[in-house]
């Protein structure tokens, strides 16, 4: 009586197992990336006027939720005369984030007065205000004119647009900014911060 054919039960060679493991890990990484991309929030337009979804409310909410870092770069930051208003709201949010251990840093512009060789002093008072609340500030050099208005939050969220932090920009003007959830863009924005002279020493 003939015996039935036996299947080849020889173990797979180690190199084949390694290849299969690498392919499996690659598929897992690609799958996780696809899931993350699928659940990424679409960009949102932030207008000056808007209570729940406007620039101030949305920015404050994201600062309050930050876990790792909040980096800010502004052309103008000016405190309200009476210390009450949207600028104070956002600065106090930065102070709260810094107090709970978030890496909060602010870059402000330094430039010459229009048509003059005299250095503007617009941000000396703002820097003193922020630093008194525990928020480190870097006023850039005269060789660099910082005209950006942007926030980087947790290497994930970027807010970039036309909003300076002044009462006019945050309460009166027609201004537009965009809230973007994209780690690639956040990485590129972080590189801009790091190119600012003195950035790494700012803590």
Please tell me the predicted confidence (pLDDT) of residue 91: 97
Q: Confirm whether 5 is domain-assigned.
A: no
Q: State mean pLDDT over 9-14.
A: 68
Report the C-alpha gap between 190 and 169 in whole angstroms.
24
Please tell me the predicted confidence (pLDDT) of residue 30: 65
Q: Are residues 50 and 149 in the same domain?
A: yes
Q: Are residues 31 and 51 in the same domain?
A: no
The pLDDT tens digits for 123-145 are 888 999 999 999 999 988 767 77
Please tell me the predicted confidence (pLDDT) of residue 56: 95
178 pLDDT more than 90:
yes
Please tell me the predicted confidence (pLDDT) of residue 160: 97
Q: Confirm whether 203 is domain-assigned.
A: no
CATH of the domain at 164: 3.30.870.10
Q: Are residues 183 and 148 in the same domain?
A: yes
Give residue 36's pLDDT band: very low, low, confident or very high (50, 70, 90): low
Q: Confirm whether 108 is domain-assigned.
A: yes
Domain of residue 172, residue span: 43-194
Tokens encoding 106 = 């602010």
Q: Are residues 93 and 72 in the same domain?
A: yes
Q: Are residues 19 and 33 in the same domain?
A: yes
Tokens encoding 64 = 């309050």
182 pLDDT more than 80:
yes
Please tell me the predicted confidence (pLDDT) of residue 53: 77
Report the C-alpha gap between 75 and 114 in whole angstroms.
15
- For residue 68, give the nearest of 105, 40, 107, 32 by alpha carbon: 105
What does the chain come to in residues? 203
Please tell me the predicted confidence (pLDDT) of residue 161: 96
The pLDDT tens digits for 90-134 are 999 999 999 999 999 999 988 656 665 556 677 888 999 999 999
Q: Are residues 72 and 18 in the same domain?
A: no
List, in order, residues 6 or more apart from 147 with CB less than 8 Å away: 75, 109
Q: Confirm whether 8 is domain-assigned.
A: no
Query: Which of helix, strand or coil describes residue 185?
Result: helix
Q: Confirm whether 151 is domain-assigned.
A: yes
Q: Are residues 190 and 117 in the same domain?
A: yes
Give residue 83's pLDDT band: very low, low, confident or very high (50, 70, 90): confident
Angle at 56 between CA 55 and CA 61, to 5 degrees: 100
Query: Which of helix, strand or coil describes residue 74?
Result: strand
Q: Confirm whether 48 is domain-assigned.
A: yes
Q: What is the pTM of this model?
A: 0.77
To the nearest whole number, what is the mean pLDDT of the chain?
85
- For residue 138, give the nearest of 76, 97, 70, 198 by alpha carbon: 198
5 pLDDT more than 80:
no
Q: Are residues 124 and 148 in the same domain?
A: yes
Q: Are residues 38 and 133 in the same domain?
A: no
The number of folded domains in the chain is: 2
Report the C-alpha gap between 130 and 157 in whole angstroms.
22
Burial class, 165, CB count within 10 angstroms (exposed 0-12 / middle 13-18 / buried 19+)? buried
Q: Confirm whether 112 is domain-assigned.
A: yes
Q: Which residues on adjacent β-strands are paired with residue 103? A: 69
């Amino acid at each position: 009586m003939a015996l039935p054919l036996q299947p080849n039960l020889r173990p797979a060679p180690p190199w084949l197992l390694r290849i299969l493991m690498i392919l499996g890990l690659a598929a897992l990484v690609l799958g996780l990336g696809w899931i993350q991309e699928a659940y990424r929030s679409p960009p949102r337009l932030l207008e000056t006027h808007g209570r729940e979804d406007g620039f101030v409310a949305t920015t404050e909410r994201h600062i309050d939720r930050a876990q790792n870092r909040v980096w800010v770069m502004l052309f103008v930051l000016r405190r309200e005369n009476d210390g009450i208003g949207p600028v104070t709201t956002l600065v106090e949010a930065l102070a709260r984030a810094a107090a709970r251990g978030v890496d909060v840093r602010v870059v402000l512009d330094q430039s010459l007065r229009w048509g003059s060789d005299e250095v503007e002093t617009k941000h000396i008072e703002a820097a003193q205000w922020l630093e008194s609340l525990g928020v480190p500030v870097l006023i850039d050099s005269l060789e660099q004119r910082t005209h950006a208005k942007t926030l980087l939050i947790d290497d994930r969220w970027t807010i970039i647009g036309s909003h300076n932090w002044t009462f006019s920009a945050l309460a009166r003007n027609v201004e537009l900014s965009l809230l973007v959830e994209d780690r690639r863009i956040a990485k590129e924005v972080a590189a801009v911060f790091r190119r600012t002279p003195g950035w790494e020493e700012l803590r």
